[in-house]
Chain A
Amino acid sequence: MREPLLDIKDISISFGGISAVEDVSLNISKNEIVSLIGPNGAGKTTVFNILTGVYLPDSGEIYFKGERIDRKRPQTIVKKGISRTFQNIRLFKDMQVIENVLVGTHTRTHYSLFDSTFRTRKFRKEEDEKIYKAIEILKILGLENKKDEYAGDLPYGDQRKAEIARAIATGAELILLDEPAAGMNPQETDELLNCIRYIRSLGYTILLIEHDMRVVMNISDRIYVLDDGKLIAEGLPEAVANNPRVIKAYLGGELHVGN
């Protein structure tokens, strides 16, 4: 078997004695689309926060491309190639869409303050390169015509896409999407899923959080199901959807399983 791109081994974290994530293990191979689903409050976002270095896990290990990354600072983890979007959109509202994407290129922009102040060749060359790249990324998400709008002025669905563009701009290989379809109507959701498929076709690897299982049934290579901080199922979409434990977990809250 290939070495997984991301390998999470038995991570746990608790807040004030209450366990939020317990012994969760998860792996993703290069170029996969893997979904992490579960009812609200299951601990999905917390897994992302641990992955991106926002929280230190109480126990467990995380390997990315064979290198251990739990204990690393968020900035370091981004540089290593993991980037994310947020469940509650966190764009830089007062910056233009293209500027948001350019912020994404931050860690891979190497000119100094001296270079930009004196507009050296290095600055101009690199800045041109990043602008070009930013627009290419915006094209992927169909936002190139909105590049000059302020991020805060975009309609909701476009804001979610702009966040994905910004995440891609970091140069990450693994993109973590936290409920990217939240608040979208079925048509927008379909459009977004196509977009995610396209992003995968470009060579990216995607870990997708969603609480509505139906949304990820068609797009996921594999699905992990989290309930109350614990993994209760993993596997191919159909198998997971028919898993009695999963059905029960979802019945406890809202039933989102198809048909």
Chain B
Amino acid sequence: MRDKKISFNNLEKFLYQPSVFMILTGAALAVLLIVPWLGLNSYLMNIVVKVAIYITLALGLNILVGYTGLVSLGQAGFVAVGAYATTILTKVYGWNFFTSLIVCVVLAAAVGIVIGLPSLRLTGTYLSIITLGFGEIIRTVIIVWEPLTNGPMGIRGIPRPALGGITFTMANSGMYYLSLLLMLLVMLFCRTLVRSKTGRALRAVKGDETAAVMMGINVTYYKVLAFVLAAVISALAGSLYSTQLGYIDQNTFTFDMSTIILSIVILGGMGTLRGMVIGSIILILLPELSRSLTDYRFVIYGLILILMMRFRPQGILGWKSRLPYPIRKTVIERISGPQNQTADDGETNHA
């Protein structure tokens, strides 16, 4: 067991060497950019876009679950807020998709604040129930608020995003690039977040709320902020998702969707970014492999979650990173001063 751990960490050490990391990131980006030229049919391209959108959604929920230690079973509610806001603004009021995103962000942030408030008093099971209820309330609102949402009939013919005469469609791969862009931006955001005052405060709240308070962290503010960030990211992904689908109704945003997002986070490894990618790929591709799998997908999700909790609670890719905390060169030089450099610490195993 120990050997396995060390090899994982050695692999990590290798992968994250600046040169290796740059090459791999560059290669990954190059592959992602040429995906539309790989000759995938439209069915497969739709799945690829869906994976990108779910990675984004998982990254959003990860801020809550992985960093802050709060649970949400109502992410579909936030997705719906974004999807409906954009759809109504573009379809009914003729707004540009990208302009509507501003409204979508503001609205989602407001809803995030409202849903975040109960989290100040509740955790665990109680918070699960509240957020689950929130998801269902949003669905009910969609059904009842017919003048705006067209009720159970749903909204059809959602326009594709367009900018300066270019329409982003599935056919011209515009949708793919947009969803890729959003995913990468959110990923970059999360990466910076973890290594900032805000990210550390969120993780401190997860680690020990009392100690966090004693460090001067305003726990209230950061819990609500976590909900706001998760809400805004989900809503942005929701906006994009609605234009990909072209049709939405209350059944687009069911509890199933919230479950999938949570399953991705847990399966992949909460608190990690890489986990969201692998989790989404597995859980979105898996049901597409065969019809029968689609029918039983919730049984499979349930099983996966139970097995993960039992055998690998940290998630598939949720190992504890052994990389040194990144410190800029100028700081290192200032610390070591005129003396010689300190040697590499920790147990290095040479193969």
Please give the residue numbers on chain A whose beta carbons come within 8 Å of chain B beta carbons, in ascending order: 52, 54, 74-75, 78-79, 83-84, 86, 90-96, 98-99, 102-104, 106-107, 109, 111, 113, 116-117, 119, 123-124, 127-128, 131-132, 135-136, 145-148, 150, 166, 170
Q: Is the CB of B214 within 8 A of A128?
A: no
Q: Is the CB of B213 within 8 A of A147?
A: no
Contacts A/B (CB < 8 Å), 25 sampled? A78-B214, A78-B216, A91-B208, A92-B203, A92-B207, A92-B212, A93-B207, A93-B208, A95-B200, A103-B217, A111-B196, A111-B197, A113-B198, A116-B192, A117-B189, A119-B192, A124-B328, A128-B331, A131-B327, A132-B331, A146-B345, A147-B325, A148-B323, A166-B215, A170-B216
Q: Give 7 new A-B contacts, CB below 8 A, not counting A75-B217, A103-B204, A113-B225.
A: A75-B213, A93-B207, A94-B206, A96-B325, A103-B200, A106-B216, A148-B322
- Residue among A54, A74, A93, A103 making CB contact with B201, cutoff 8 Å: A103
Q: Min CB distance, B53 to chain A, in Å?
A: 21
At the interface, yes or no: B99 with Cβ under 8 Å from chain A? no
Taken residue by residue from 15 to 34, chain B's Cβ proximity to chain A (1 for < 8 Å, 0 otherwise) reads as 00000000000000000000
Point out the residues of chain A lying under 8 angstroms from B328, CB to CB.
124, 128, 131
Q: Is the CB of B214 within 8 A of A84?
A: yes
Instruction: Give Cα A150–Cα B207 distance, bound, in whole angstroms.
Output: 12
User: Would A106 and B201 be within 8 Å (CB), given that A75-B213, A90-B208 are in contact?
Assistant: yes
**Minimum CB distance partner of A79 in chain B:** B216
Q: How large is the interface on B (under 10, 10 to 19, 20 to 34, 35 or more residues)?
A: 35 or more
**From B189, B201, B203, B327, residue with most partner A Cβ within 10 Å:** B327
At the interface, yes or no: B102 with Cβ under 8 Å from chain A? no
Instruction: Give Cα A117–Cα B322 distance, bound, in whole angstroms.
Output: 24
**Segment 281-321 of B: residues with Cβ below 8 Å from A:** 320
- Residue among A52, A74, A148 making CB contact with B325, cutoff 8 Å: A148
User: Would A132 and B335 be within 8 Å (CB), given that A93-B207, A109-B197 are in contact?
Assistant: yes
Instruction: Give Cα A189–Cα B9 distance, bound, in whole angstroms.
Output: 34
User: Would A106 and B211 be within 8 Å (CB), given that A116-B193, A117-B192, A128-B331 are in contact?
Assistant: no
At the interface, yes or no: B341 with Cβ under 8 Å from chain A? no
**Minimum CB distance partner of B207 in chain A:** A92
**Minimum CB distance partner of A147 in chain B:** B325
**From B192, B196, B334, B346, residue with most partner A Cβ within 10 Å:** B196
Instruction: Give Cα A52–Cα B213 distance, bound, in whole angstroms.
Output: 10
- Residue among B195, B206, B218 making CB contact with A75, cutoff 8 Å: B218
**Minimum CB distance partner of A84 in chain B:** B214
Q: Is the CB of B193 within 8 A of A150?
A: no
Point out the residues of chain A lying under 8 angstroms from B340, CB to CB.
none
**From B211, B217, B328, B346, residue with most partner A Cβ within 10 Å:** B211
- Residue among A92, A147, A148 making CB contact with B204, cutoff 8 Å: A92
At the interface, yes or no: B165 with Cβ under 8 Å from chain A? no
At the interface, yes or no: B210 with Cβ under 8 Å from chain A? yes
User: Would A117 and B193 be within 8 Å (CB), given that A78-B214, A84-B214, A94-B203 are in contact?
Assistant: yes
Q: Is the CB of A74 within 8 A of B214?
A: yes
At the interface, yes or no: B324 with Cβ under 8 Å from chain A? yes
Q: Min CB distance, B263 to chain A, in Å?
A: 22
- Residue among B192, B203, B217, B330 making CB contact with A95, cutoff 8 Å: B203
